[in-house]
A and B are shown apart, each in its own frame.
Chain A
């Protein structure tokens, strides 16, 4: 189970990665049920970024796979996947795995999708 302390670690590391690159993003952390635990919207990031970060993070947390996996499935022609409940099939959401269990997800929005994912990965890495 993700604690507030875990969330603060993830968020701080993700924010540091964004700052290092001079990027303004929103970073959302959700538990394995897709419930919001932590969010920051950096100065200059939009309300849309906050909503999208939550949506990407929820996609990864609930489906237990990167939101990029969904994007690629659809790109490969599985249009039916667009109808999956609560799925935002855009890169930038990663699941959080600890001790072999899926415990949540991180979603980032604000820069290019692969850069959003880079920030999410930096955050999760800090959890150790």
Chain B
């Protein structure tokens, strides 16, 4: 009991000291404070006919290559607008395709960005603690007229296959 109290007191003392000042880590690339905040602004939610066109292009490209994919199209908020599972696509991809699309929309960037940062090492190990994070390529924003109107997520093959199909879908409506 006495030992526990001592350990607790020591821990609190450390915590207070740590709160007062956390010295910067010169090796951590996250310490840099960028001058500008660059991003693509959101637009109106993608229309169903546009979402269908993007998914159709993605599914057609998958079929041409003999790949079985799941394709999800979401609006800027990450909410589902269109979904298709090709015959023989693995069941796990039903959720993963939606997750990739949602993350690409809500984080306003292709999910390959996350995958690449994860590969850079321990300074980016905080990323999976962010809400709705997915560290796998295959999710891409759908940008029309300089605005994000939605995103398309693809899953079913390797990450590189997924991203090839996802990009084909996103580009078809640009």
Contact = CB atoms under 8 A, between A and B. Distances in A.
A37 B70 CA distance: 9
A38 B79 contact: no
A94 B34 CA distance: 54
Interface of B: 47-48, 52, 59, 75, 77, 79-87, 91, 94
A36 B82 contact: no
Contacts of B87: 3-4
B80 A41 contact: yes
A80 B85 CA distance: 35
Nearest to B97: A36
A36 B80 CA distance: 12
A41 B82 contact: yes
A4 B79 CA distance: 22
B85 A41 contact: no
A43 B59 CA distance: 22
B48 A35 contact: no
Interface of A: 3-4, 7, 35-43, 47, 50
Contact of B79 (A36, A40, A47): A47
Select the residue from B47, B79, B91 with max chain A CB neighbours within 10 A: B79
A35 B59 CA distance: 19
Contacts of B86: 4
Contacts of A43: 47-48
Contacts of B77: 47
21 contacts: A4-B84, A4-B85, A7-B85, A35-B91, A35-B94, A36-B83, A37-B84, A38-B83, A38-B84, A39-B80, A40-B52, A40-B82, A41-B48, A41-B79, A41-B80, A41-B81, A41-B82, A42-B48, A43-B47, A47-B77, A50-B80
B106 to A, nearest CB: 13
B80 to A, nearest CB: 5
A29 B162 CA distance: 23
Contacts of B81: 40-41, 50
Contact of A36 (B47, B48, B59, B85): B85
Contacts of B48: 40-43
A50 to B, nearest CB: 5
